[in-house]
Structure 1
Amino acid sequence: MKAMIPFMKLAPKVCSSIISNRKNLIKPLVDLYMAKEYKKIVIVASGSSSNIANSVKYFIQNTLNTEVKIIWPMTYIKFDYKFNEDAFIICMSQSGKSTNTIQAVKKANKMGQDVAVLTTNANSPIKQYTNNVFEYGSGSDDYYVAKGYPASCTFLMLFALETALAKNIIKKEEFELKLKELETAISLMKTSFEVSEQFYANNKEEFKAMRRVMVVGCGPSYGTALEGALKINETFGIPTNAYEMEEFVHGPSYEIFKDHAVFFIDNGDDAHERIMQLYSALHLLTDKVFLISNNGNVADKRIWKLDYEISNEFSILFNIIPFQIISDSICSDLDLLSYNVRNYEFEKIIKTKA
C-alpha cells in the first residue's frame, strides 16, 4: 500500500514549517480568540480531527487554564449545542468538505455562537459558512492524515502557547522552554520512524495475523490510542477499538482471547503505574500484548520504546508513528488496499486458483 509512509516522512518538515510560520498561520486565530473573554473552548470534530482534539485537550487546558470540551458534529447539532454562549467554538475538518462539520458551523451561526474553522484547505466548501477559516499548513493531499495528525497537534499546541503568552498566563521564559520542547519532539519523529520500522520487523508475523485489536491509553495517550485504532481499522479492516485504561477493565477485557492483540501506550505520566499494572496482568489472557513506552529500562521485542528528555505531553507527536507504520506495512506486505482482512483469504484463493 505505502499510502501513509511518504506523508509520514514529510511530517517533521511540515511541523517545523508551522512553527517557523506561526505568526502568519496562528496569530489570526489567537487574535480572534482574544477579542472576547471566553469561559471554555468547544471543539467540534469527528474521525482523525476528533482524535487530534483528544490528544491536545489537556495541553490546551493546562496552558490556558480553560475548559476544553470535545463534541462530535451530529451530537452538537442535535443535542449538545446549548450552554455554549460563553464558548469559543472550533470546528475541525481536515478536508473542509465534511457535511456534518459544515452543518455544525451552520448550527453555531444559528445559535449566535462564535465559531472558527480549522482545515487543510481554506478554499474548501466550508468557507461559505464563516469568514473565520484557518489552514493548518499541512496540505490537503494526505488521505490518511499521516502528516495531518502531528501537524494539527502542533498547530493547536502553538495556538495554546501563543494565546497564553499574549494573555500573560505564562512568561516568555516558559513559552520559550515549551517551544524548544515542541521542536525536540518534532526532531524525535524521525527516530520514532526508525524505531517503529524495527518494531514492525520484529513482530510482523504477529501483526499480520491480528484479527482483533484493542489500544489502551489515558489522558493525552487516549487520543493517540483513538487515532492508532482508527488507522488499523480503516486500513487493515479488522475490528479495532480504543479504550481509556479503566474503561478497558470494565467489560472490554472480558472478551479477550489468546489471538487478540492489545497495545498499551505509556507516556510515563501520572497514568504510568496503572498502565504498567494492566500491561503485566494482561499476559494472563493473551501473549499478544504490546507496549508503546518511554521507559528505557524495559526490553522485549513486543515493546516499542523511545527515550526522551522532554515533557510527556509532547509524546503524542511520535507515539502515533508505530501505529501508522504497522497499518501501512501490513497492507503493503499483504498487498491490501484498505480492504477488510477477510477479503485477503478470498483474494489469495482466487489468485492461486486462476
Structure 2
Amino acid sequence: MSHSQLGIARRNTAWLLVILYGSDVFWFLLSRSGLVTIRAYKIQPFSWVDFSIFLACVLVFCLASFLFTYVVRPLPKFVIGYLVARSLVVLAIILNILCFIIVDPQARYSGGEFTPLSWIIYQVAKGFTLALVVLIVRENYERNFVSSIWIFFLLASYSMTIDGLASALTLFVFIYLLLESKKLTLIRLFTLALCGLLLFSAGFYSKFDGIPDYVTPQFIAEWVVSRFSIQAEQMYTYSAGSSIVNSQYSYLELIQRDLEFRIGKALGQGANFEHPRNISEATRFDMHNRYEASAGSSAGALLGTAYLGPFFLIAPLFYSFIFIQYFYGLSKKVSFFGLIGYAFVFKVLHANFAGYLVIMSASFVSGSIFILMCLLMRKK
C-alpha cells in the first residue's frame, strides 16, 4: 500500500464530503438572500435556532467524514489490460443504445411508463456509464485507459439517452473532468464551452418544444438557485421540526413501505399502496403539501444522513469507504472545481441514502456497479 497515494485519497475524499455536506449551507444562504422570488415549493420561516441546528449537523457530519477517512482502508485493485478496458467501453455503448431504443425519454417523469425490463436497462446503463466514465477520468490522471476515439463513442452514446437538463449537465461535467484530468488548454476550454451550449440545448429541447415567453435571463438565474437550493430547504424544514419524516412516519417505516411497494409493483399490485410510498415522496410532501402519482424528491447527502437519527454515522462511513476506493491510486490532488464536478456526477450515489437499504433501487444498482468499477486499474 502506497502511503502517499493513501494520503491523497484521504484528502480528496475528505474535501469531497465537505463539499457534499457543506454546499447546502451555500445554497440555503443564496436561497434566503432575496434573489429568488419565484418558487415551486414552500419554505419555512427563518429562525436562528433552526439554522443553528442546520449548521451543527453540517459540522458534525463533516468532522465524522474527516475521521472516517483515517479508519477506512482501500481494497486491493485488479489490474486489467487494454482489451478488457475497451470491452467495458463497448458494453457501456451497447447499454446506452439499448436504453435509447427501449426507454421512452419521458419515462422518468411519468408514472407507470417504466416496465421492469426498461427500468433495469435504464438504471444499469446510467450506473455503468457513470462508473466507467469516472474510472476513465481517474486513470487518465496517470495513464490512458482507452484511446480518445473510444471515449468519444462512449460519450456520444450517453448523449443519446439525455432526458432533461440534469442528464445534459452530467455529460457536460463528464467532459470537464476528462479535460481537466489532462490539462485545460485554451482549445479545450473552447471545446468545453461549445459542448456546454450544445448540451444545454439538447437538455432543454428534450422537455420543451420551444422557448416559452417567460424564460428570461432573470428567470433562468432564479430557477437555477431555486432548483439547486431545494435540498437545503428540505434540510432546513427537517431542522425546524416540520417534516413528516420521523414525526408522522418513522424512517424505518418508510423504508419498509418502499420495499413493499417495489415488490408489489413488480407483481402488478402497485396501485394498492398509499402515499407516502417511500422517503422521496415524504420529502417532497414537506415542500409541496401534496402527493402526485410519480413524483418524489431526493433528500441529498446532508438530509439523507440526518434522517438516520442516532445511526447517522453509517452514512459518512459508507461515503468515506466508496470514495476512498475510487481515489486510491491517484498520485495528485484533485482541484477544488474538479471535486465540485465529482460531487455533481456522484449525485446518484449520495442523493438518496435510503435507496441502499432498498435493494430494488437506483442507488443500490449504481452504488454496487461503482464500487466494483473502483477496484479496477489499467495496466501501465
Q: State the TM-score bracket (shorter-chain normalisation).
A: 0.3 to 0.5
Identify the structure with the greater helix proportion: 2
